[in-house]
Structure 1
Amino acid sequence: MEPVSEPSPDLAALADSVREIEHHVGEAGWDGPVRVFALVRTQEMLRTEPGLAARLDPSVLVSAREQPWHLTSVEQEELPVAPDLETLLAGLSWPSTVDGMAVSVERVVLPPAAEEAMPQDTDAALEYLLAHPERQDVRLVVGALRDGPSWCAVRSRANDTAEQVGQGPDLVPGLVAAVRSTLD
């Protein structure tokens, strides 16, 4: 058996941040909007904006002192209007002070065989998708660091507990690529 290596500090910080975002978004319940978060290294944020320390939980300040890669997520309140997630992400860009970004989105997924039978017409496809007995509602939170790792969290409505959130670096490769493109 191969030894399990410790994740790099930036991957560990990103995984922690994505888990925190997933938990935060989950507290609002299901059927929520797309949410976008800038990820910034907490130490650097406090260096440039020392007054923010008063607004952070003391445990966050302790973690930030101990972990140079500790990340703070900053939800972006006024997203541009876009017809779909792909267009929204394609229109985002971040200043160099942002170390990464994360997005939360809900999707309906079907087994591959059911997807193949989906009608081509958009309205008919939506009706088919929403009425299909094997559909699964999922919440995806995908984060990536500029020139660094990615991390994903996937929660299904059918298994809506923190213990059953799937996690990994590339569970949703297309969305990981779209998130990364905002950081170029």
Structure 2
Amino acid sequence: MTEPAPDPARSALAESVLEIERHVAEGGWDGPVRVFALVRTQEALLTEPGLAAQLDPTVLAAATAQPWHLTSIEQEDLPAAPDLETLLAGLSWPPTVEGMAVTVERVVLPPDAEEAMPADGSAALEYLLAHPERQDVRLAVGALRDGPSWCAVRMRGSDDAGQVGQGADLVPGLVAAVRSTFD
């Protein structure tokens, strides 16, 4: 039985999400939410020919060879929002944006520890921050318009690019929120 050919859109998205995660990791931990528009590099080069001079030659060569090659464009001056869900719900993209990605840091607990978390907000935060099994993680989640999604997860306790977990739907709630920006 032969293995199916890799999906070029999914491969390009996975590569882009990992590149974004590495870029954000260079800034260290305790950073803000960051949002990136994803555009097909070949199309961007057609509309903005000056972009070629700004790209590394290896990136330019990859973009020339791969129609699905993506360029990420960090979105600055994001609107103020009380939480990530509200921020993402307020975003929309023009048709030239093929996809989007977001990075966010979170604290996670094992499921049994989550069940014991107090209902009161301030008590829950105190419990979360003091829990001995807590893990700080950075999530990088991207999705293409009407296409695949990809997630990268780095744990602060094993802060190594070789230890980044990845997969199509590792953080389903955040994938759904990212997809909602295309509605």
d(CA) in 1 for partners of 2:35, 2:165: 20
Opposite residue 119 of structure 2, the aligned amino acid is Q
Measured after TM superposition, the shift of residue 163 of structure 1 is 1.0
Q: Distance in 2 between matches of 1:18 and 1:3?
A: 28
TM-score after normalising by structure 2? 0.98
- Which range moves more in the overlay, 159-168 or 4-13? 4-13
Matches within 5 A, 1:30-179: 30-179=29-178
SS of match in other structure, 2:52: helix
Give secondary structure in 2 for the equivalent of 1:151.
strand
SS in 2 for 1:120: coil
Shift of 1:183: 1.4
* Cα distance in structure 2, aligned partners of 1:87 and 1:76: 16
| Deviation per residue, 1:61-93 (Å, 9 max, x gap) | 100100000000000011110000000000000
User: Where in structure 1 do 4 or more consecutive aligned residues deviate above 4 Å?
Assistant: none
Distance 1:13 1:40 in 2: 11
- Provide the alpha-carbon RMSD of the alignment: 0.9
Give ranges in structure 2 of 5+ residues lacking alignment: none
Give me the TM-score of the superposition, normalised by structure 1. 0.97
Counterpart code for 1:18: V
Taking the aligned partners of 1:13 and 1:112, their CA distance within structure 2 comes to 33
One-letter code aligned to 1:7: P
* Distance in 1 (alpha carbons) for counterparts of 2:131 and 2:59: 44
What SS class does the counterpart of residue 80 from structure 1 fall into?
coil
C-alpha distance in 2 between matches for 1:179 and 1:135: 25
